[in-house]
Structure 1
């Protein structure tokens, strides 16, 4: 059941929420991974043992640990156990280079680094740079101290600290797709806002959430914390596979999920999709990357349960919600501002623009980061203040509100191509190219041009069974594009480079051209 009264409740820590579920439903499954599960009673107990182990090792409230591994019950338990101890968690991406991982561990000041065998092996070249940071292996491999031997015995003294909403809960490092990763400091209060908001979308004790994106991603955590905070069951996948996802969804009678657009695309294309019983679904979410109107419509048509698109940033601020089923004529938008969110449009000089104007999207809500870790100047750059002095987060996205108050996104500011003095939005070009019958995926980037300053170049991946030349698609597209939008070149690739949560790595595409 969903307890909507939680939305009116004052701040409650994740630790207290889990303890409450352990008291009221100790045998209820909290975490499921492969053939294993952990009940709320077991989770509550191991969180205390993890907290005791951290205190034993000198990691006090306000200290930091790092985690880099594939999703598992141990990963989730360590995350939650650290929260109980008031310890800040820095979850890192296994796809990062060894040098980048060492840099993030040092930046976070993590004294213990929880890894698995694959990450430990990748870290070998930079082990001297980790200094006094201790390695603990979540999969009990021999690369460091095993989790089971590190874990404090039951009954070990543990002094749970007071947790206040403004204190940091985790540091989420940006993907680094545009340079050196920045540590986004999120507070206990920000996560509480995510949990209490979850009551509006049906999270509760009967929720079964299938999480197929990694636990280091805020995309995943924005669904993980409401699930656990409201007493549901989180089913974890170590790696996304469309067939495996469908099998788990049917077996566990899943009610909620958080997916990125490329995952919806792969699921819709799975030859056996319609053979699975997905009637248990109540709510599906999508975030992190552009979600095409055609794909939204297909998901609604073929997949039971409501579909909600979430627009926002890991840094927080004003998010938007599009309840896709309710607004079939607004699929080209990302919805209206979420309850409690204040979203506005500003120009390049920071002046607020009137309704209908196109400019940068800025937002404010209860869910906002404290700032970038160790980067006060960068933190100040991303902030905007209104006439009353209220703090907003700048998104870097270009958009406008339509006449009904729905936000239409144009593009990322950094991706806008300025060619011959004209602003060209890659998303407009991509929308045209995507309608070609042979095109499965497309991305457009701006590259330097002596004649125009910048010029648009396209990359496409072809649908299976289609054989067409890049020149043919280029000519077809340019016939349909405006004069200033026309592509100067188009390249066929096997797949577009994407991050673990489905964002196209446009920097890599630009690098291919400049190389």
Structure 2
């Protein structure tokens, strides 16, 4: 990629890929199993997608929706839609059929692309879609992706893509209510690609993508890789052993993983037998990354480790270069360059360092707003005394004297028991010290005496037997009276989203259904 293009004030991803197709045509862009696609092929296939969309009457700023597992077809469709100026709404395959209908309507998608797994899941609602349905993996639908594509060599009409135009709409998980469409612009994504230059992305990088493409977690790694001419190795579904084999065979240099993936990889007894010496940088985001696990990754996995803290909505972000600050592993790092992050109280008054409050942030990369939800957008915003716009994170934290941010919990997960604020993360950190527990989480459940009271869900290591009452007694001896657990529940697995977040709302609902309100 020519330095002139990279230093431009603004360049689109489709333009970058077209440049790679000219300058490094035979360099691999995408790898999935035995299938390889060069930049020449990626750009040509993106042209076919863009031409097909224009043939079907889609205009710039119209939208398509995609609901499927990771694949080369998915990546090509995404890039091709952008080349036509079309907005992409990537949807989670784990969504319920009714939730999918709501997101499709909200995004105003003109076409819906799905793979066979999604097609089977939505069979009962196909007649209610209200838009053409295409099979991305060429099975299970009346119209297949390969047949839909424009002819080989087809070229779309040029589209002027401005920074303000919508790149994608990413929907919140919906685990805390109705999914909200987060609108992100081409200008915002360009800033993410430029940031990749500081993280070692470039033509020689090889990124192993094992998180889903509908997630911003994935896109902040996928987009700099192909935007800067590197190679993406695609996993349709994460598996720790498969990940390690692919990493070794492909001499992977970069990877974005969520904490639970690191946990499963590091727990493998054969981890140290794999040659991972090619790694330059590993990243993590989307869920709490515990200090002990970070330390283990630093000790046994070559290359740097950077944890990002931020929101899909944008606003301020922090980064912890764990390899540079090994004494700050309990934090999520420092605000990134150009990012302004602060802490406010419940009345919106800014707090000084050391005090606990809600984290808010401002940066060049912020959502335009929630699609079709101006009131929700307004609720997510905070303005300082100068009128500067910030995005509320909903997270509770504090900055130390050196400017590093320590997170306590999500505001909605904080437990208020008998008038005291209890942070589940503090309780979880203590629970993890129990030698027989592999995974833990703490939620607040309704109590007639206290308003809320903490309950722990625990997952023992395989082959180890624990008693709930013994764990409860062990824990309650180690903490203050207000932090004591009311109940401990043993389970085989904690419910998690596709990007590793513990679904605490599900656990609260499950507890209420099984046990009701506690005394």
TM-score (norm 2): 0.97
Aligned residues of 1:308 and 1:323 also touching (Cα < 8 A):
yes
Distance, in Å, in 2 between the alignment partners of 1:159 and 1:179 is: 40
Query: SS where residue 480 of structure 1 aligns?
Result: coil
Distance, in Å, in 2 between the alignment partners of 1:423 and 1:356 is: 17
Residues 465/149 of structure 1: CA separation in 2 closer, same or farther (3 Å cut): same
Aligned residues of 1:470 and 1:491 also touching (Cα < 8 A):
yes
The answer for the alignment partner of 2:44 in structure 1 is 45
The answer for the alignment partner of 1:454 in structure 2 is 452
Distance, in Å, in 1 between the alignment partners of 2:221 and 2:419 is: 42
Corresponding position: 1:28 with 2:24: no
Aligned residues of 1:136 and 1:146 also touching (Cα < 8 A):
yes
Aligned residues of 1:90 and 1:171 also touching (Cα < 8 A):
yes
Q: CA deviation at 1:8?
A: 4.5
Distance, in Å, in 2 between the alignment partners of 1:486 and 1:71 is: 43
Query: Alignment partner for residue 180 of structure 1, among 170, 178, 181?
Result: 178
Distance, in Å, in 1 between the alignment partners of 2:103 and 2:355 is: 39
Q: CA deviation at 1:361?
A: 0.4
The answer for the alignment partner of 2:413 in structure 1 is 415
Query: SS where residue 305 of structure 2 aligns?
Result: strand
Residues 167/68 of structure 1: CA separation in 2 closer, same or farther (3 Å cut): same
Q: CA deviation at 1:160?
A: 2.0
Distance, in Å, in 1 between the alignment partners of 2:272 and 2:152 is: 47
Aligned residues of 1:306 and 1:324 also touching (Cα < 8 A):
yes
> Cα RMSD (Å) of the superposition?
1.2
Query: SS where residue 32 of structure 1 aligns?
Result: strand
Q: CA deviation at 1:122?
A: 1.1
Query: SS where residue 222 of structure 2 aligns?
Result: helix
Q: CA deviation at 1:135?
A: 1.0
Corresponding position: 1:479 with 2:477: yes
Distance, in Å, in 2 between the alignment partners of 1:337 and 1:386 is: 18
Residues 104/284 of structure 1: CA separation in 2 closer, same or farther (3 Å cut): same
Q: CA deviation at 1:357?
A: 1.6
Equivalent residues in 2 for 1:158-197, closer than 5 Å: 158-197=156-195
The answer for the alignment partner of 1:19 in structure 2 is 18
Aligned residues of 1:219 and 1:288 also touching (Cα < 8 A):
yes
Q: CA deviation at 1:423?
A: 0.5
Aligned residues of 1:4 and 1:199 also touching (Cα < 8 A):
no
Q: CA deviation at 1:464?
A: 1.5
Residues 281/211 of structure 1: CA separation in 2 closer, same or farther (3 Å cut): same
Query: SS where residue 263 of structure 2 aligns?
Result: helix
Aligned residues of 1:3 and 1:204 also touching (Cα < 8 A):
no
**Count of aligned pairs between the two proteins:** 513
Comparing 116-125 with 470-479, greater Cα deviation is found at 116-125
TM-score (norm 1): 0.98
The answer for the alignment partner of 1:344 in structure 2 is 342
**Poorly superposed stretches of 4+, deviation over 2 Å:** 2-9, 154-157
Query: SS where residue 511 of structure 1 aligns?
Result: helix
Equivalent residues in 2 for 1:34-183, closer than 5 Å: 34-131=33-130, 133-183=131-181
Aligned residues of 1:15 and 1:84 also touching (Cα < 8 A):
yes
Aligned residues of 1:6 and 1:196 also touching (Cα < 8 A):
no
Residues 347/39 of structure 1: CA separation in 2 closer, same or farther (3 Å cut): same
Ranges in structure 1 where 5+ consecutive residues have no aligned partner? none
Query: Alignment partner for residue 403 of structure 2, among 390, 405, 408?
Result: 405
Ranges in structure 2 where 5+ consecutive residues have no aligned partner? 514-519
Query: SS where residue 484 of structure 1 aligns?
Result: helix
The answer for the alignment partner of 1:309 in structure 2 is 307
Distance, in Å, in 2 between the alignment partners of 1:189 and 1:16 is: 13
Comparing 94-103 with 57-66, greater Cα deviation is found at 94-103
Query: SS where residue 326 of structure 1 aligns?
Result: coil
Residues 157/259 of structure 1: CA separation in 2 closer, same or farther (3 Å cut): closer
Equivalent residues in 2 for 1:206-355, closer than 5 Å: 206-355=204-353
**Deviation string for 1:398-417 (max 9, x for gaps)?**
01110111001011000010
Aligned residues of 2:5 and 2:11 also touching (Cα < 8 A):
no
Aligned residues of 2:342 and 2:359 also touching (Cα < 8 A):
yes
**Deviation string for 1:319-350 (max 9, x for gaps)?**
00000011111000000001111111111111
Distance, in Å, in 1 between the alignment partners of 2:471 and 2:192 is: 44
Q: CA deviation at 1:3?
A: 8.2
Q: CA deviation at 1:508?
A: 0.7
Distance, in Å, in 2 between the alignment partners of 1:155 and 1:436 is: 62
Q: CA deviation at 1:5?
A: 7.9
